Structure 1
Amino acid sequence: MSFKGFINTNRLRFFFITILSILSGISGILAGYIQMYWLTYIKENNWTEVAITTGLMALCWFFAQSVIYFVQYLNNIQEEEYFKNLRDRIAEHYFEDGKLHKVSDFQNRLTNDFEIVKNNFFEWYVIVPFYGSMLVASLIALISIHWSIFILSLLIDIISYFLPKLIDKKLEKATIKVSERNNEYLATLSHWFSGLNELRRYFAGAKLLEVQNSSAKKLEKANVNQVVQQQLLTILNGVGELLSTIVLLGATGILVEHKVIIFGAILSVQNFANNVSFGMQTTIQGLTMMRSAKPLMAKISKDVEPMSVQKKTSVEIPYVIETHNLALKFPNGETLQYPDLKINQGEKILLMGDSGSGKTTLFKLLLGIIEPSQGKVKFKNKNNEEINPDFSKIGYIPQEPNLFPGTIKQNITMFDNELNSKVKRAIEEVKLDSDIKKFKNGANTELDLNKLNISGGQRQKIVLARAKIHGSKIILIDEGTSAIDQKATFSILKNLLQSEATIVFIAHNFNENIRNLFDREIKL
């Protein structure tokens, strides 16, 4: 995310945004300059000139006011088009980087972070050239009236420029803190409200409210701190404005009294001075706000970058999976230490171990979903050479299967229409055919993820069929048949284990018949 990217969204529109903002600011100052002569003509009873200058003032004011609203409209279009492009690229980046991303992180990045950058950077872009042009035009107007007024105004502006720098870094930190606290708040909601029914069942509402309230207070504190820093910036700007009013009004009065400048200047100089002061302060405030958003923009930019060529190197189907000195350390200080493992192609392995021994975590380490604290997972080919694995050929059936909005067929094929002809056989192999017959539209039944119009066992069978139809050469099953009765489980496993695929199966409850289907056991 960058200013250059914003410009390149539509260069011609950006040109009009900039030029019209500048012209609008200049037009407002021109109206004030004409007002100086208008006031003098009134004092001199020159009514013809009064009428002309009145018309010119009205024309300048109308142009200044109407054009700036049109510019804001154009800027909003430019923003939304740029943000749409960024959201697409971030989604693509998150998809391709192969890392596990929390839903709350993704939501925060695409909503709150974009809103912060919009308010603190891109919304200010229209304001900066508008008030910047007013500042320059006002200084030109002042020097045309008298050099001493210009010098005084310039000195005051220099003071005004350096005052906001006192809180520059604090405002930047406050902006980043809002993003971080919002991310934490979204994560808290995700962690706790996903188990809302369970909390209700055990009357744990007090704890839910406690953690939600605690997280909300941190977010509130971050927002308040940001507002405090913004208010301090406003106060510092106000000091500069007060200084400008006192000094310049007194100096102008002296010059008018000595007939060095015309009578109308006594009002116009103050207006110009106010415009210089306000233009300087607003421009500085805008630049300060824009700078405060840059660290966050830099973070967003990392999520926008396309994946490197190295990430997209050729991949192969693993023949052997090995782990060496593999361990995972948790924030609470506990460490899961794994024995060195070797899984050969075609092996059918039963993975066992007490609860908490790290069976599910091992699968996630093998799949690269989480990174180990030490050690390494190695994938090798037939020649015992280390390779980059083709994860699309590694099927994973987790305890809670992942289904997506769409039909049963689409969830099996993962939206690959070329696999439609293989759906019927895959459904039969995982014993889903009898379930399919219960649905009016069969495999074309739309899944309702909110109301869950299928059972837990049916969900598991769909994911098993998904692994089969995609020709997975390695299938990791984490209690993937726990919701299926033992008779059907035995039949499904017997079918699966007759294939050439490497299968590693985690199960807590299994009988001797199921146990005898496997080549060997690994106990953690």
Structure 2
Amino acid sequence: MSFKGFVKVNYFRFVFITVLSIICGLSIIGAGYIQMYWLTDIKDGKWRDALLYILLMIVSWCFTYVFVKLAQYLNNKQEEEYYKQIRDQIAIHYFKDGKYHKVSAFQSRITNDINIVNENYFEWYIALLIYTAILISALVVLITIHWSIFLICIALDLMSYFVPKLVQKKLQRAVEDLSSESKSYLDTLEKWFSGLEELRRYCAGGKLLQVENSASNKLENANIKKSGAQQVLLTANGVCSLFSQIVLTAITGFLITQNVIIFGAIVSVQNFMSNVSIGMQQMIQCLSYMKSAKPLMKEIGSDATTINDQNDQGGEIPTSIKTRGLMLQFPNGEKLTFPDLEINQGEKILLTGDSGAGKSTLFKLILGSIKPTSGKVEFENKNGEQIKPDMSKIGYIPQDPNLFPGTIEQNITMFNDDLDSKVKPIIGEVDFKQDIVKFKNGLDEVINLNKLNISGGQRQKIVLARAKIHDSNIILIDEGTSAIDQKATMDILQKLVKSNATIVFIAHNFNEKMRSLFDREIHLVKE
């Protein structure tokens, strides 16, 4: 995420915004310059010239107002188009990088972090241009009035520049802390509210409120610290501005009494003095805010970098999976240790074990969604050579299947229209035909994720069909038939074990008839 990327969204619009903003700054000073001669003409009784000048001032103010509003509108449009690009790039990056990303972290990145950058960087661009134009044009006008006023302004402005720098780093740290606490707050909500039903069941709402309140307090404190740092910066700017006004007013009054400058300057020079001070202070303030957002912009930019498609290619279909010294340790000190395993092509394996022995975790380690603390998972081809696996050929049916807003057919094909013709034969293999006829629109029934219009068993059959239709050579089933009745489960398993695919099936409740369908059993023991 960068200023260069913001410009590239629409070069012509960006140039137009820049020109409008500069004209606004020049118009403000132009109105002040006209005012100087307007006051002089009133003193001298030149009423016709005074009327002309006042009309020119009104026109200048009107132009300023209209141009500011137009520049803000166009800048907002430029911002939103850029943020859409960034959000799309982050989504693509997270999809392609192969890493596990927390939902709360993704949400925070594309909402809170972008909003923080917007408030502390791009929203200040127009103001920076306007105040820079005001500062430069006011200095030019002052030097035409008298060189001494110009030099004093330069000296005072240099003082105004260095004083606020003392609090810039504090503001930058406050912005970074706010982003961190925002992520932490969203992460806390995700962890606790995902188990809301369980908390209700055991009347543990007090703990939920306590945790939420603690996280909320931290976020509130981060916001307060950021606001405090902003106020310190504003105060420093205000003190410098006041000092500048006092000194320049004294010099201006002296020059008028000496008839060095015209009478109208009695008000206009004070305005120019104020314009210089305000222009400098606001320009520094804009730069301070924008600088404070740079580290966060760099982080967002890193998450929005393009990952070449070639990095996702080249995977082979594994014929065997091996684990070597596999161990996973949790932050609380608890650890899971797995025996060295070898799963060969075409095997039908029943995976059983003690509760908490890590059956589901083993699947996630194989899939790479979590990384082991030590040891590794190896994939080999038919020649026994280690390979990078083609993960699209490894089907995974979790306990709680993932479905998406779309039709039943789309959830089976995963939005690949080329597979539409294969859907009907597949649904027979997973005992789904009788379910389909119950839906008004059949395979075109849209799945409602908010008001779920399918049963748990139907969800599992959809994901089973998904794995089958994509020709998964290896299918990992984590109690993937737990919501399906026993008769249908046996029918599905009998068809699955006849396939050439490698099947690893986790089940808690199984009978001898089910056990007999598998080549062997792997039993995990919790140590």
Deviations 1:385-407 (A, max 9, x none): 22221111110000100011112
Query: How far apart are 1:50 and its partner, in Å?
Result: 0.9
- What residue in structure 2 maps to residue 79 of structure 1? 79
CA distance in 1, matches of 2:500, 2:336: 31
Bigger shift: residues 215-224 or 335-344: 335-344
- What residue in structure 1 maps to residue 236 of structure 2? 236
Is 1:111 aligned to residue 118 of structure 2? no
Deviations 1:479-510 (A, max 9, x none): 11111222221221111011110111111111
- What residue in structure 1 maps to residue 23 of structure 2? 23
- What residue in structure 2 maps to residue 277 of structure 1? 277
- What residue in structure 2 maps to residue 296 of structure 1? 296
- What residue in structure 2 maps to residue 474 of structure 1? 474
- What residue in structure 2 maps to residue 168 of structure 1? 168
CA distance in 1, matches of 2:310, 2:452: 41
- What residue in structure 1 maps to residue 315 of structure 2? 315
Query: How far apart are 1:309 and its partner, in Å?
Result: 5.8
- 1:161-240 equivalences under 5 Å are 161-240=161-240
- What residue in structure 1 maps to residue 367 of structure 2? 367
What SS does the corresponding residue of 1:318 show, helix, strand or coil?
Answer: coil
CA distance in 1, matches of 2:21, 2:329: 56
The runs of 5 or more residues in structure 1 that have no matched partner are none
Query: How far apart are 1:21 and its partner, in Å?
Result: 0.7
CA distance in 2, matches of 1:373, 1:37: 78
CA distance in 2, matches of 1:197, 1:342: 39
What SS does the corresponding residue of 2:503 show, helix, strand or coil?
Answer: strand
Query: How far apart are 1:225 and its partner, in Å?
Result: 0.8
Query: How far apart are 1:518 and its partner, in Å?
Result: 1.3
CA distance in 2, matches of 1:381, 1:490: 31
Is 1:516 aligned to residue 493 of structure 2? no
TM-score by length of 1: 0.97
- What residue in structure 2 maps to residue 36 of structure 1? 36
CA distance in 2, matches of 1:386, 1:310: 20
Query: How far apart are 1:210 and its partner, in Å?
Result: 1.3
CA distance in 1, matches of 2:355, 2:164: 58
Deviations 1:250-298 (A, max 9, x none): 1111111111111111211111111111111111111111111111111
What SS does the corresponding residue of 1:222 show, helix, strand or coil?
Answer: helix
Query: How far apart are 1:374 and its partner, in Å?
Result: 2.0
What SS does the corresponding residue of 2:450 show, helix, strand or coil?
Answer: coil
Bigger shift: residues 329-338 or 243-252: 329-338
Is 1:157 aligned to residue 157 of structure 2? yes
Query: How far apart are 1:158 and its partner, in Å?
Result: 0.8
What SS does the corresponding residue of 2:244 show, helix, strand or coil?
Answer: helix
Bigger shift: residues 318-327 or 4-13: 318-327
Deviations 1:444-480 (A, max 9, x none): 2221211221111111111111111111000001111
Query: How far apart are 1:121 and its partner, in Å?
Result: 0.6
CA distance in 1, matches of 2:336, 2:203: 33
- What residue in structure 2 maps to residue 102 of structure 1? 102
Query: How far apart are 1:441 and its partner, in Å?
Result: 2.1
CA distance in 2, matches of 1:230, 1:21: 24
Give the letter for the 1:389 counterpart: P
Structural RMSD (CA) = 1.3
Bigger shift: residues 374-383 or 118-127: 374-383
Query: How far apart are 1:193 and its partner, in Å?
Result: 2.2
Bigger shift: residues 333-342 or 242-251: 333-342
Deviations 1:103-152 (A, max 9, x none): 21121111111111111111101110110010001111111111111111
CA distance in 2, matches of 1:227, 1:289: 12
Query: How far apart are 1:52 and its partner, in Å?
Result: 2.0
CA distance in 1, matches of 2:505, 2:419: 26
Query: How far apart are 1:310 and its partner, in Å?
Result: 5.9
Deviations 1:169-218 (A, max 9, x none): 11111111111211122222222223323322322221221111111111
CA distance in 1, matches of 2:421, 2:8: 45
CA distance in 1, matches of 2:309, 2:495: 40
Is 1:384 aligned to residue 381 of structure 2? no
What SS does the corresponding residue of 2:447 show, helix, strand or coil?
Answer: coil
CA distance in 2, matches of 1:453, 1:251: 80
Query: How far apart are 1:381 and its partner, in Å?
Result: 1.1
- What residue in structure 1 maps to residue 491 of structure 2? 491
What SS does the corresponding residue of 2:492 show, helix, strand or coil?
Answer: helix
* Identical pairs, percent: 61
Query: How far apart are 1:311 and its partner, in Å?
Result: 2.3
CA distance in 1, matches of 2:195, 2:329: 26
CA distance in 2, matches of 1:185, 1:460: 33
CA distance in 2, matches of 1:185, 1:426: 44
Give the letter for the 1:286 counterpart: C
Bigger shift: residues 319-328 or 5-14: 319-328
Give the letter for the 1:382 counterpart: K
Deviations 1:427-456 (A, max 9, x none): 111111122222222222221211221111
How many matched pairs? 524
TM-score by length of 2: 0.97
What SS does the corresponding residue of 1:317 show, helix, strand or coil?
Answer: coil
CA distance in 2, matches of 1:333, 1:199: 24
What SS does the corresponding residue of 2:378 show, helix, strand or coil?
Answer: strand
Is 1:507 aligned to residue 515 of structure 2? no
What SS does the corresponding residue of 2:510 show, helix, strand or coil?
Answer: coil
What SS does the corresponding residue of 1:346 show, helix, strand or coil?
Answer: coil
Give the letter for the 2:151 counterpart: I
The runs of 5 or more residues in structure 2 that have no matched partner are none
CA distance in 1, matches of 2:439, 2:77: 46
CA distance in 2, matches of 1:126, 1:375: 55
